[in-house]
Amino acid sequence: MLAEKLKVFKIDRLFRGCNRINESYFLKMSMLEYRLVNKKTKYIIVTFLWLFPFILVEIVSRFIFHYSYNEKEKKVIAVMLGLAPGYSANMVSYYRPHHYLSYVLNPQSMEYYKDYYGDRPGYAINSHGFRGKNFSIDKPTGVYRIVCMGGSTTFCLTESDESHTYPQMLEDALNSVYSSPSFEVINAGTPSWTSAESFINFHFRVMELKPDMIILYHGLNDTFPMRRDEEGKSDYSNWRKSLDYSSTSDSVRFLIKHSVFFQLIYLGVLDIQPSITSLTVLPRLAETNEDENLEKATGKYFIRNTEAIVSLAKANSIVPVLMTMGHGPWHSSLSLNNQSTRQIAKEKGTILVDFEKFALPHLFSPSDNVHFTRQGNIARVKLLVYSLSRSEVWKDFERNTNGEPSKNVQVEDP
């Protein structure tokens, strides 16, 4: 009996020892697992706290980007940054780089614009890179060709209906008044161009069209280089830069593709905005006092460029017509350039259409006081038809082509 009791006692102690070992083992394992889990949680928390400022900045950046640009502007930015697969800025932009002119209108955009933006183009750009309907480079017999030159006010930036741009309305009006000759009016205006671009454009592109007349409507855009040091320099190089759609590097594209924050930083550093003006104008230097420069400016380069256009036109038997710019409230520098236009017309014996004197507030967009309302374009056309009819500049043209000039036509005084 005693032996059996001792045997049972030993077995019981053995089991108790095993239990204690097991309890100790599982306790240690539990503590280790707790420490591992606790360490993992700590890493997660630390990582989150480290990333949280970046996540917050990215969220705020997306909010800013969303409300700073409309959907079309976002698409413009995407294609300029190389973030639009299958498309490039040269395919869908209204403008393309030019080796002499900084930029010109882009005929190719008419083909790809709707596919990319999902909407029809706001303007018609013909195959020759001018706004409006297509035309033959070789001028047909009996056609009196007029080319309108200028910036966005000639291009008619605020008018989406091609039949109501001022050059098209001028063509229609002249053809409705005269049975002969047949008038063709070409719109060679380009937004943001100054007299400098128009001079280069006239020499290299417009003269190839063999126009009989040019109508120059400039003055406003030249006041912007006049704000820079040395009035922008003689070639406006203190103000103008060439349009450049160069693609970003792969590393930069990766960052801006996956982070709106980096996209905003990139846009800010390079001063990229979805407008042709910001893309082709140098940033203002901090030390430049533009207001003071403009007060002292003489417009000497505007004068030189305009005189050069007039002289080149006359040397090639092209009739130059100078037109002062109409406007609402604006800095006196515009009126200064208008006065220079009057003086050039007087000295060169050139036809002057003094639209500034007829300018009324309702003729201009209230947002900037210089771009025309539709009523403004109609008023401009009426004044042009009246002034050109009084000058009878196409009488010699008619004699050379038809043998007899047309009869005098009564044109309403605007």
Question: Any idea what the CATH number is for the domain that residue 359 is in?
Answer: 3.40.50.1110
Q: Looking at the structure, do residues 298 and 370 belong to the same domain, yes or no? A: yes
pLDDT in tens, 200-249: 999 999 999 999 999 999 999 999 999 999 999 999 999 999 998 876 67
294 shares a domain with 392: yes
**Domain presence at residue 318:** yes
Q: Is 127 part of a structural domain of the chain?
A: no
| The pLDDT of residue 304 | 98
* Pair (185, 330) in one structural domain: yes
- The answer to whether residue 375 is domain-embedded is yes
For residues 226 and 370, membership in a common domain is answered with yes
Is residue 407 included in any domain, yes or no?
Answer: no
Last residue of a domain, one of 68, 85, 106: 68
Q: Are residues 173 and 303 in the same domain?
A: yes
Domain count, the chain: 3
Could you tell me if 167 and 253 lie in one domain? no
Q: What is the pTM of this model?
A: 0.82
Query: What per-residue confidence (pLDDT) applies to 407?
Result: 45
H-helix or E-strand containing 144? strand 143-150
Contact 155, 190 (CB under 8 A): yes
In a domain, 410, yes or no: no
Express each pLDDT in 56-112 by its tens digit. Answer: 877 887 888 787 788 888 888 888 878 888 888 889 999 999 999 999 999 999 999
Do 103 and 214 fall into the same domain?
A: no
Q: How far apart are CA 116 and CA 397, in angstroms?
A: 46
Amino acid 263: pLDDT: 77
Domain annotation covers residue 367: yes
Decide if 92 is inside a domain.
yes
In whole angstroms, give the CA distance from residue 112 to residue 354. 41
Show Cβ contacts of residue 400 under 8 Å, excluding neighbours closer than 6 positions: none
- Can you tell me the distance from the alpha carbon of 165 to that of 372, in angstroms, rounded to the nearest whole number? 10
Q: Which domain range does residue 56 map to?
A: 1-68
Q: Please indicate, yes or no, whether residues 262 and 373 belong to a single structural domain of this protein.
A: no
Structural domain includes residue 130: no
Residues 183 and 273 in one domain: no
- 200 with 333, same domain: the answer is yes
Residues of the chain with pLDDT under 70: 1-40, 42-43, 46, 48-49, 247-248, 268-274, 396-414
Degrees, nearest 5: CA angle 307-225-352: 30
Report d(CA 414, CA 43) in Å as an integer.
81
Q: Report how far apart, in Å, the C-alpha atoms of 228 and of each of 32, 73, 194 are.
A: 72, 28, 14
Residue type, 72: K
Q: Are residues 208 and 64 in the same domain?
A: no
Chain-centre distance for alpha carbon 387: 33
Q: Are residues 231 and 250 located together in one domain of the fold?
A: no
Rg value, the chain, Cα: 35
In 3D, which of 73, 87, 74, 80 has the Cα closest to residue 115? Answer: 87
